[in-house]
Amino acid sequence: MKNKIKHIILNKNFLFGVISVVLLSGVFLGGMYFEYTHRPYSDRISGISNMQSPDNSVDMEPFWQVWNTIDQKFPGAKNISSQDRMYGAIKGLVGSLGDPYSVYFPPQDSKDFSDTINGSFEGIGMEIGIKDGAMNVIAPLKNTPAEKAGLKSGDIILKINASSTSDMSVDQAVHIIRGPKGTPVTLNIYRAGEKQARDITVIRDVIEVPMIDSKDLGNGVFKISLYTFGADSDRQFANAINEFLKSGDTKLIIDLRGDPGGFLDSAINIASMFLPKGDVIVTESFGGNQKDEISRSKGYGFVDPSKVKIVILVDGGSASASEILSGALQQHGVAKLIGEQTYGKGSVQDVTSVTNNTTLKLTIAKWLTPDGTWISKKGLTPDIVVKLPDTVTTTDLVLNRALQYFKDGK
């Protein structure tokens, strides 16, 4: 499995073997103990070998010293398998990158990740990420327990079931939040504009990740809501575009609010439905000596922008592939962005199987908009900014602003 998505992977296998620890006979007991404790710790570990850095420049002795000390002193050491310890070590290795989007998934986490990108899992249905050092709700998915419980893009998650998130990775948080259908999870959140944090309890359910909705709003306006960039999103979006063309409408709203992104290829294919062949959609900058990779429009020609007025609705939950599509159509003058500042995820992840049941998601590049801008942490600024009130309202102010734009052109 190798697809460019919100998240990574690099194929890296650790080799396991067997070494024998042999102590010479005919020595005093004390001398034997001295010999044993002063040999390299790696020589004392039975069952694992070939643990050296690729260029032999790293001293692996501290690793084996900690391993052996755990065996000697930790009360529950015998209950933790060597394999699980190795999974933990690899997760720590990836964690040393300091990149919240690079994650190693041991077997159960790998299965959960696969279930997510395949569109079905048990949990509460929201995308989370670390921004400015805090665990944030990127976006609750449509019609999920998270959305129904009132969680919003930008909410800062302080605790999950009373456990602080201050030193918690995203995958650790996801592992705790997910659980069997019908069980509760309590999130302590802080929301901008509120005086203090509060608890929100959500009942888990089976989550079927929604892809797309389309609707004729009347008065020549057609709306396509895209909730995630899955492997099939571009095909479903093409079907929605066909509905739009058959309707005879001349005004198109693409609603990407709360869409946390997904597959890069889907964003490129959708952008190619609007842009002439050859227009730059996104540039992947790998750094070092590796050449930048420029993705250009395939020129599908589904929509003629000279005959259709297009707006894209965005907010703080619009991230990754949502920002790639929005940035490309905005900067080529095809669409106006209306709403709030987007999330600002400007990196590309590659996903690869490490073993048949483990996965690595690794950041491999930063991506740039057509004009060469890296939006990481900054996001995209809408052409028309809609400031939403702190109080809850049933009126869709962003949609109304788009309808007003269609009416008066400003």
One DSSP character per residue, 11-37 reads --------------SSS-HHHHHHHHH
Do 57 and 25 fall within a single domain? yes
Do 386 and 303 fall within a single domain? yes
Last residue of a domain, one of 28, 61, 95: 95
Specify whether the backbone of 9 is left (phi greater than 0), alpha (psi in -120 to 50) or beta: left
Do 394 and 310 fall within a single domain? yes
Do 48 and 80 fall within a single domain? yes
404 falls within a domain: yes
Do 253 and 197 fall within a single domain? no
Do 276 and 139 fall within a single domain? no
In which domain, by residue range, is 159 found?
A: 120-208
Top-confidence residue, 309 or 33: 309
pLDDT tens-digit readout, 204-220: 999 887 789 999 999 99
Do 129 and 145 fall within a single domain? yes
Helix extents (H) in 279-379: 321-331
Last residue of a domain, one of 183, 208, 233: 208
Do 197 and 224 fall within a single domain? no
Residue type, 211: M
pLDDT tens-digit readout, 325-360: 999 999 999 999 999 999 999 999 999 999 999 999
Question: Which residue has tokens 């989370």?
Answer: 128
Number of domains in the chain: 3
b/e per residue 324-337 (b: at least 16 CB within 10 A): bbbbbbbbbebbbb
Do 19 and 64 fall within a single domain? yes
Do 235 and 184 fall within a single domain? no
pLDDT tens-digit readout, 64-95: 999 999 999 999 999 999 999 999 999 999 99
Do 31 and 175 fall within a single domain? no
Last residue of a domain, one of 208, 228, 255: 208
Whichever domain contains 159, its CATH number is 2.30.42.10
Work out the mean pLDDT of the chain and round it to a whole number. 85
Q: What is the pTM of this model?
A: 0.76
Do 41 and 84 fall within a single domain? yes
Cβ(368)–Cβ(20) below 8 Å: no
